[in-house]
Structure 1
């Protein structure tokens, strides 16, 4: 099959979820500030994301280098940690429970493409991470992934689908290797 990328069209049912002015302000000002490494501090990052529609609980720590595609599609519980270079590529909603830790370089991907379609159709799926879960450094979560409460996704794991509560997964594709 030949990819015909010139045939790609955004699905008519999909919307960026915010008016053009809000998106322009986010991409031109908000997003660069959020990810800025030269600006220390977490509280102002939380306030910035909230100002653009994210729902973020109290006691959260957000590190420099954090990237969020659409803050208005982000819900973060209480006392969460979002580390350096975590990338929340949320074309669809991302929901984090309480006390979730996203370590350095994690990638949460809610959108992908249908490689069997010549037009490379967009496929979306929300990501949900239960309370007390830890997503270790450089782990990748695919569209539609659900991480159960208290689960651990090990260093560099690639997860697609469901991870049971309290499970420890590792590898590519990630498999259960124990319980927390």
Structure 2
């Protein structure tokens, strides 16, 4: 069993920003980003950028978004980040272009070794390639790589490599189909993934 009374943060891990920056983010930046009473997307993009996030043009960010460490977040162009999505990015999260992360999705980059009494922290980044849809309440585990054009269905729990254009459903998620080319993502778009 884990010995939480003796747990300590691994000495090799660092949150990636100074104590002052982290304090301002947690006391001011994070609550503003998540505020439901403040409409608008452009200022949320600017806020994340001010704290070190790399956010491409044309992104839409909904109220309620949570980001643990914006300086470990990279988002491509024309992405949508939905209400109450949570980027728990103790390790880097990188997303390509035209990615939709729907309401309540959880991207988790850290867990613990429950087999060890030391309950050691285990971290691994998440990569989401172009043209992916992560549906509402889906969960991406540490180390997940989602191939271009894939769909992670409602409340799916994903770990590991997701093939390009795969449709993943369930807990644990399995491939249940292949995404076909649609009128919404014609191959004439520069850089668009073709799944047809």
Q: Which TM-score band (shorter chain)?
A: over 0.9
Superimposed CA distance per residue, residues 68-95 of structure 1 (whole angstroms, 9 cap, x where no aligned partner): 0000000000000000000000000000
Deviation at 1:8, TM superposition (A): 1.1
Secondary structure, counterpart of 2:20 in structure 1:
helix
The total of aligned residue pairs comes to 179
Aligned partners of 1:98 and 1:130 also within 8 Å: yes
Task: State the alpha-carbon separation in 2 of the partners of residues 120 and 38 from structure 1.
Answer: 39
Which stretches of structure 1, 4 residues or longer, exceed 3 Å deviation after superposition? Answer: none
Secondary structure, counterpart of 2:83 in structure 1:
coil
Listed as ranges, the gaps of 5+ residues in structure 1 are none
Superimposed CA distance per residue, residues 80-127 of structure 1 (whole angstroms, 9 cap, x where no aligned partner): 000000000000000000000000000000000000011211000000
Query: What's the Cα RMSD here?
Result: 0.5
Task: State the alpha-carbon separation in 2 of the partners of residues 155 and 75 from structure 1.
Answer: 23
Superimposed CA distance per residue, residues 109-165 of structure 1 (whole angstroms, 9 cap, x where no aligned partner): 000000001121100000000000000000000000000000000000000001000
**Between Structure 1 and Structure 2, whose CA radius of gyration is higher?**
2
Partner of 1:48: 47
Deviation at 1:31, TM superposition (A): 0.1
1:97 aligns with 2:96: yes
Secondary structure, counterpart of 2:46 in structure 1:
helix
Structure with more relative contact order (C-alpha pairs < 8 Å, separation 6 or more): 1
Partner of 2:187: none
Partner of 2:15: 16
1:83 aligns with 2:82: yes
Deviates more, 1:2-11 or 1:61-70: 2-11
Listed as ranges, the gaps of 5+ residues in structure 2 are 180-196
TM-score using structure 2 length = 0.91
Task: State the alpha-carbon separation in 1 of the partners of residues 48 and 69 from structure 2.
Answer: 9
Secondary structure, counterpart of 1:104 in structure 2:
coil
Deviation at 1:33, TM superposition (A): 0.1
